[in-house]
Amino acid sequence: GAMRQKMEFQAEVQQLLHLVVHSLYSNKEIFLRELVSNASDACDKLRFEAAQHPELFEGDGELKIWIDYDRDARTVTIRDNGIGMSREEAVAHLGTIAKSGTREFLQRLGAEGQADARLIGQFGVGFYSAFIVADRVTVRSRRAGLPASAGVLWECAMTGDAAGTFEVTEIERPERGTEVVLHLREGEDEFLSGVRLRELIRKYSDHILWPILMRKERWDEGRGELVKEEEWEQVNRASALWARPKQEIAEEEYVEFYKHVAHDFEAPLSWVHAKVEGRHEYTMLLYLPQRAPFDLFERTPRHGLKLYVRRVFVLEDAERLLPRYLRFVRGVVDAADLPLNVSREMLQDSREIEAIRAGVTKRVLGLLEQLAKNEPEKYARFWREFGRVLKEGIIEDPANRERIAALLRFASTHSDSPEETVSLDDYLGRMKPGQERIYYLTAESFAAARHSPHLEAFRKKGVEVLLLTDRIDEWWVAYLPEYKGKPLASVAKGEMDAALLSEEEKKAREEADERLKPLLERLQAALGERVKAVRVSSRLTEAPACLVVEEHEPGMQLARLLRELGQ
């Protein structure tokens, strides 16, 4: 007999289900977008795997998505003949959340009380959005390549507002792919309508590349209502959005397409759509999200760029197409000259891919420059969300170092606020006569930076100092020795430019050196090995002494970091 098994949802899933149902109700219609998006991903995956293993098509290579409803049973069904799921996959994908950092993320959501829909969206609600409109969801699936006897039935009924368990049963299922049946909650009958479902498909899923089919309907004069026919018809346009001319694409189409490729709930911050011709031909549609995903700093960030070859999906998460420091970019690249059966390994040393990667990088930097110049508020938002990642580019991408440097934003003694708004060009424009270097200070926090004794002399002379308080700051400054010909210099290392000192100050410094020599010798003897040298300083006005690092030594933050890493 069929093996039936009751299983518990992972605690995080239960919490997520609860949040989804409660905070997304005002957006309930998105369930269809999410389920169609999954069906489309499943077709993409099958097409990709079948490129190497054509037998997976089982003689049926026409991938499609079908949507139907049943007024009497009060169900809406979304079906695809994509990759499908094995029993293990159904349990893993529909019962747990594998993404690292999930627990922390949900704790943070919990702490904010009534969770913000946008925050949940950032996590990607996906499949669970079915429960916004359904109180029972039945999934039947079979993975491509497995025998009909390896079908799986997955079912979850919500009792009250969150159910803790689901059931899986082995079933016979000749059809490959997945069918999701939504048993609608009381009061959700609006979705039992061909007109309403078509409207939602056109609104949210028009760009899906696989045909989405619904049953034809005709007006029955006698019954005075629309009746369904046996025959299916295609509802979506199913043309590659990026392949269409820009001027014909509406803003909402760009936005909906983004939500699908990025698995995001919110609209993007901005995008660039470009076709490159010449030796390497490719089209790119690249988006900047509005919000950093919660796993931006995990080792394996998800959902980068999708790679298509002549409008056929080839690869998800094609990390070779983007440098790591641009890992927040989402979208698609469609390459004209790659073979359709290209694999991840082949991308490793493909010249085509190298060219595309350089082109994509250039466009993203261009988009950021344009935002910084023309839409400073959007750029400020971008900087808050992704600035820390962009800084990695100074280290990672020497070829674009100066361009990236121009995009950095800092807190400084000029604004005296923790807001990072000052660019290096702003700084250059405010340099004092005779000032040769760009001064910065690294510290653990803005408060610590601001009260640093190292700043006193600079403040007094009105010389601006950039205040760097990210952990990564000491790393990248080591890779940016100068900007537009002006060296960067830490105020905690070495001395102030001589040109900034008056003649009197210089003289006073020399005299003090002479006069204090015996004191310095005694201090040096007392401190012994613990210091390299004891010197007279011109940079203090109030504090009696401060610790200084030699010009070419690692800064104190970095030294601490290296110690923590056991170096």
CB of 41 or CB of 352, closer to ligand ADP? 41
Helices marked H in 217-342 — which ranges?
Answer: 251-262
Residue 145 known to bind ligand: no
> Residues in the site for ligand ADP, rule: CB under 6 A?
34, 38-39, 41-42, 80, 82-85, 93-94, 124, 126-127, 178, 263
Identify the residue whose tokens are 């990709």. Answer: 48
Choosing among ligand ADP, Mg ion, none, which partner's interface includes residue 85 (Cβ < 5 to 8 Å by kind)? Answer: ligand ADP
Angle 102-111/11-23 helices, nearest 10 degrees? 40
CB of 30 or CB of 353, closer to ligand ADP? 30
Tokens representing 125 are 């609600």
Bin 85: left if φ > 0, else alpha if -120 < ψ < 50, else beta.
beta
Q: Point out the residue whose Cβ comes nearest to Mg ion.
A: 126
User: What are residue 467's DSSP bridge partners?
Assistant: 411, 441
CB of 295 or CB of 464, closer to ligand ADP? 295
CB of 99 or CB of 237, closer to ligand ADP? 99
> Cβ 61 to ligand ADP, closest distance in Å?
17
Residue 100 known to bind ligand: yes
> Cβ 38 to ligand ADP, closest distance in Å?
3
Q: Point out the residue whose Cβ comes nearest to ligand ADP.
A: 126
- Report the distance separating Cα 545 and Cα 554, nearest Å: 21
Residue 343 known to bind ligand: no
Residue 87 known to bind ligand: no
> Cβ 494 to Mg ion, closest distance in Å?
54
Q: What is the number of other CB atoms lying within 10 angstroms of the CB of residue 204?
A: 22
Bin 245: left if φ > 0, else alpha if -120 < ψ < 50, else beta.
beta
CB of 303 or CB of 362, closer to Mg ion? 303
> Cβ 37 to Mg ion, closest distance in Å?
5
> Cβ 180 to ligand ADP, closest distance in Å?
7
**Looking at this protein, which amino acid is placed at residue 391?**
K
CB-based contact 282:354 (threshold 8 Å): no
User: What are residue 171's DSSP bridge partners?
Assistant: 151
CB-based contact 304:330 (threshold 8 Å): yes
Residue 191's contacts (CB-CB under 8 Å, 6 or more residues apart) are 32, 69, 76, 133, 184, 197
> Residues in the site for Mg ion, rule: CB under 5 A?
37-38, 126
> Cβ 34 to Mg ion, closest distance in Å?
6
Choosing among Mg ion, ligand ADP, none, which partner's interface includes residue 93 (Cβ < 5 to 8 Å by kind)? Answer: ligand ADP
CB of 137 or CB of 424, closer to ligand ADP? 137
Exposure string of 233-254, with b = 16+ CB inside 10 Å and e = fewer, is eebbbbebbbeeeeeebeeeeb
Helix (H, G, I), strand (E, B) or coil at 223: coil
Going by the annotation, the residues of the binding site for ATP are 34, 38, 80, 85, 99-101, 122-127, 178, 344
Going by the annotation, the residues of the binding site are 34, 38, 80, 85, 99-101, 122-127, 178, 344
